Amino acid sequence: MGIGYREYLMHTLEVRLLGGISASLDGKSLGPFPTRWSAGLFAYLALNQGRPVPRGILATLFWPEETDQRALKGLRNALWYLRSQVEPPSVPASRFLTTTGRDICLNEQGVEVDVAEFEGHVAMARGGLLTPGRVESLERGVALYRGHFLDGYDFGWSVYERERLRLALLASLELLLRYHMERREWLLAIQRGQALLTQDPLRENVHRCLMACHNSMGNRPLAIRQYRECARILEEELGIPPMDVTRELYRQIEAGSAQWTDALGRPDVMLTQGLDWR
């Protein structure tokens, strides 16, 4: 008796590429992939989910220094290991992987990929003002970013994707930082700013935002400490001092003269002097 359509659809595969490579079948972890090549092939197919990828491209991508024959053999071996991992005997054949003599595809139906979810949430917030709905979408996207793309694995093609996704995370965090600052939600803004600096400690504009947030909460010592941390990092990493706008904000905070407007949440004195602290 053949496999019924309902039985065919009952299985779900969850794929995690942010923070490494892992997968779970129907809520149960599949464990580590048996080979580096099967893990890499799985990640590439998941990144291109729903799009058939020619075998020749995959063979060249993962075995660029091998002959065509040896590269295709390596691909067949990796595919065998991959299929045995994600389609065990309890799962109908081709439930998740569709293969032909020409190409290979990770199906869309029944397969959830965290990178696709992350990018979908980030895309919803692009353009226009940040509404509560868009902010919620950004928050969900940021929460999915558990680590860098394919952390612990280095493939030639993964370098660009890792940086692309990292920049998308930074852009999302910066939007959230601005959103919370404009609403005078200082603790939430500080959390987003600190997350940004964890990823990129050289972002001087973010240091200024944290200085302003700490100062607005009445914590002038912490604002001053943030400036000194900024100055230290810039000196150690680049051999340069903070920008004039950063030093001016520090001077105003130290003197106790930086004030906030109710409408914009920015220091009045900086607005009158035409300084851009963002």
Reported confidence tier of residue 31, pLDDT bands at 50, 70, 90: confident
Q: How far apart are CA 76 and CA 48, in angstroms?
A: 19
Question: Cβ of 184: how many Cβ atoms within 10 Å?
Answer: 14
Q: Is the pLDDT of residue 267 over 50?
A: no
Overall average pLDDT of the 180-205 stretch: 95
β-partners of residue 16 are: 22
**Which has the higher per-residue pLDDT, 117 or 128?**
117
Q: Is the pLDDT of residue 264 over 90?
A: no
Reported confidence tier of residue 6, pLDDT bands at 50, 70, 90: low
**For 163-174, what is each residue's pLDDT tens digit?**
999 999 999 999
What pLDDT, on the 0 to 100 scale, is given for residue 67?
95
Q: Is the pLDDT of residue 40 over 90?
A: yes
Which string of DSSP letters, residue by residue, matches the chain?
Answer: -PPPHHHHHS--EEEE-BTS-EEEETTEE--S-SSHHHHHHHHHHHHTTTS-EEHHHHHHHH-TTS-HHHHHHHHHHHHHHHHHHHS-TTS-TTSSEEE-SSEEEE-STTEEEHHHHHHHHHHHT-SS---HHHHHHHHHHHHH--SSBTTT---TTHHHHHHHHHHHHHHHHHHHHHHHHHTT-HHHHHHHHHHHHHH-TT-HHHHHHHHHHHHHTT-HHHHHHHHHHHHHHHHHHHS-PPPHHHHHHHHHHHHT---B-TTT-SBHHHHHTT----
Reported confidence tier of residue 9, pLDDT bands at 50, 70, 90: low
Q: Is the pLDDT of residue 271 over 50?
A: no
**For 68-93, what is each residue's pLDDT tens digit?**
999 999 999 999 999 999 998 888 88
What pLDDT, on the 0 to 100 scale, is given for residue 266?
44
Which of 99-103, 109-113, 120-124 is least confident?
120-124
Q: How far apart are CA 169 and CA 148, in angstroms?
A: 10
Overall average pLDDT of the 159-166 stretch: 95
Which of 8-12, 83-87, 111-115, 180-184 is least confident?
8-12
Domains along the chain? 5-112 (1.10.10.10), 201-278 (1.25.40.10)
pTM of structure? 0.84
**For 213-255, what is each residue's pLDDT tens digit?**
999 999 999 999 999 999 999 999 999 999 999 999 999 999 8
Reported confidence tier of residue 257, pLDDT bands at 50, 70, 90: confident
Q: Is the pLDDT of residue 39 over 60?
A: yes
Reported confidence tier of residue 259, pLDDT bands at 50, 70, 90: low
**For 43-68, what is each residue's pLDDT tens digit?**
999 999 999 999 999 999 999 999 99
Q: Is the pLDDT of residue 181 over 60?
A: yes
**For 122-146, what is each residue's pLDDT tens digit?**
988 776 678 888 999 999 999 999 9
What pLDDT, on the 0 to 100 scale, is given for residue 13?
96
